[in-house]
Amino acid sequence: MEKENFKPDDFNEILDGLLNDIAPSKEEEMELKEFSEKIINELYAEIDSEKLRNLIEDIVQVGSTARNTNLKNDYDIDIFIRFKKDVDKEVLKETVLKIGKKVIEKLDGKYWIEYAEHPYLSAKIGKYDIDIVPCYKLNWGENIISAVDRTPLHNEFLKKMLKSKKSKSKNALNNDIRLLKKFLKGIGIYGSDLKTKGFSGYLCELLIIHYGGFINTLMGAQKWRVGKRIILDEIFNIYNLDEDYKFADFKDPLVVYDPVDLNRNVAAALSKENFCKFIFYSHLFLKNPSKDFFYDYVKKVNENLDNREKGVFITLGIKRNKDIVDDIIYPQMEKLQKSINKFLIENDFEFLRYGNYADDDMCYLSWEFLVWELPNIKLRVGPPVFSKKGVDNFIKKNSKYFVKDCNVCAYIERNYKNIYELFEDIVSGKLKKKITCPKYVSPENAVIFKGVYKERE
């Protein structure tokens, strides 16, 4: 069914059914709340036992489970221990790791250390995934000391907005946020990591607050163009700004100013392609609403695209250093692949598509080519005939010359007749001066897989 001049209420039947499936039950909400409080109380007890109250301001739970915007079966609990601003960073780090380990051990969990700007503790206790993160307690408008200092203020702002603002649909804003997250997961663009380059949970929450609901957000996106700027009304009240205030300039496809830090774009990680995918799939859903969009829709799209005649596949397999995280590996894979693409184009090899993917052991860079071999001849365009010196130099180096339009041209032999010769030179190191070789994704000694295209999982 096609809908025109639709309203949020037109979608109630589908959305109600979805919420029954994706929203946590009251029992699940209560379990999460009680277990989160238990961890916080244990942390306070350990802090008192170690006589560390003089270092610490408070302990807060943040994230979607703290705000009741999480999806069903999402048991992530994010705990932030906020330190006084004069505490040394080394003391902050050591204190959290020490007390965090003791609490996790006491609750029969397993823990490991993760790294952001400074180390924090990740843990697993039964079905719960827990992060215990150190930061400094800041007031609104104060400059951050560490990158995670904003997070508790994000949490404070969102909880206030979710409590005070009303949805323009019949659903609570919490459920509208769940619908947006699930929709983005379905179309494969949820997550702000450098592998996905999509929408973060925080960005989803700000969009729902700004537009007043899930359907309103999708409708609003139909008017987006590259460079779209979103400034929440509340920002003007928080900072007492007038309408002429000059906000920081960003060059990203979507700009959503962070209410906690006006010099930060919450949508900075979103790629141009994923920005456009959101507009496109929102349009399709609004025209023909279906639950299909929320459940591995991207997989159905890829299966449909795969049902066709294929070109020539080739994949480079590069051994991965397991200590290097995805947020470093994926940008380096992209950098290498773009460099190889440039060299392929210079040598007249046309590719239909390309992509990259990394698992625990290997980095894969894949291409699909229209043809794998070209005639051993190509056209070289030389200088205009009016450039006598340039013409003389050109015809000295090229014997099969002629004039085309106003340029002297020549037929020459190719450096590479087929793509396999070119890729052999890449992995042998012969082209290392012509191709960018990032530190952790070097193509030298890579494996060439013929007839293979490695899809992202």
Average pLDDT over residues 43-62: 96
Q: 8 pLDDT band (50/70/90 cuts)? A: low
Could you read off the pLDDT of 360-402 as tens digits, one per residue?
999 999 999 999 999 999 999 999 999 999 999 999 999 999 9
User: Which single residue is written with the structure tokens 């379990």?
Assistant: 31
The residue length of the chain stands at 457
Domain 165-298 identical in fold to domain 378-412: no
Could you read off the pLDDT of 68-84 as tens digits, one per residue?
999 999 999 999 999 99
> 335 with 438: CB under 8 angstroms?
yes
Reported as type and span, the H/E element at residue 403 is strand 401-404
Task: Look at 85-94, 112-121, 237-246 and tell me which has the smallest mean pLDDT.
Answer: 112-121
Which residues lie across from 16 on neighbouring strands? Answer: none
Average pLDDT over residues 324-329: 93
pLDDT the model gives residue 6: 62
Reported as type and span, the H/E element at residue 136 is strand 128-136
Could you read off the pLDDT of 371-380 as tens digits, one per residue?
999 999 999 9
CB atoms within 10 A of CB 445: 10
Fold for the domain defined by 378-412: Alpha-Beta Plaits (3.30.70)
What CATH number matches the domain at 165-298, 3.40.1260.10, 1.10.150.120, 3.10.20.30, 1.10.1410.30? 1.10.1410.30
Looking at every residue in the chain, the average pLDDT score rounds to: 94
Regarding pTM above 0.75, the answer is: yes
Sign of CA dihedral 414, 419, 425, 431: positive
pLDDT the model gives residue 7: 66
Task: Look at 8-22, 45-59, 419-433 and tell me which has the smallest mean pLDDT.
Answer: 8-22
Q: Would the pLDDT of 335 be above 60? A: yes
What CATH number matches the domain at 26-156, 3.30.420.280, 3.60.70.12, 3.30.460.10, 3.60.150.10? 3.30.460.10
Q: Would the pLDDT of 235 be above 90? A: yes
Phi, psi at 228, each rounded to 5°: -55, 130
pLDDT the model gives residue 1: 41
Which residues lie across from 383 on neighbouring strands? Answer: none
pLDDT the model gives residue 229: 98
DSSP strand E in 42-156: where?
56-62, 76-83, 110-115, 119-125, 128-136
pLDDT the model gives residue 345: 96
Could you read off the pLDDT of 136-180 as tens digits, one per residue?
999 988 888 988 999 999 999 999 999 988 877 778 999 999 999
Q: Would the pLDDT of 2 be above 90? A: no
What CATH number matches the domain at 312-374+415-450, 2.80.10.50, 3.40.50.720, 3.30.1130.10, 3.30.70.590? 3.30.70.590
Two tokens, residue 429 = 């190191």
pLDDT the model gives residue 12: 86
Q: Tell me which amino acid residue 209 is.
A: I
The alpha carbon of residue 142 and the mean position of all alpha carbons in its chain are separated, in whole angstroms, by 27
Q: 5 pLDDT band (50/70/90 cuts)? A: low
Q: Return the domain boundaries, the chain.
A: 26-156, 165-298, 312-374+415-450, 378-412
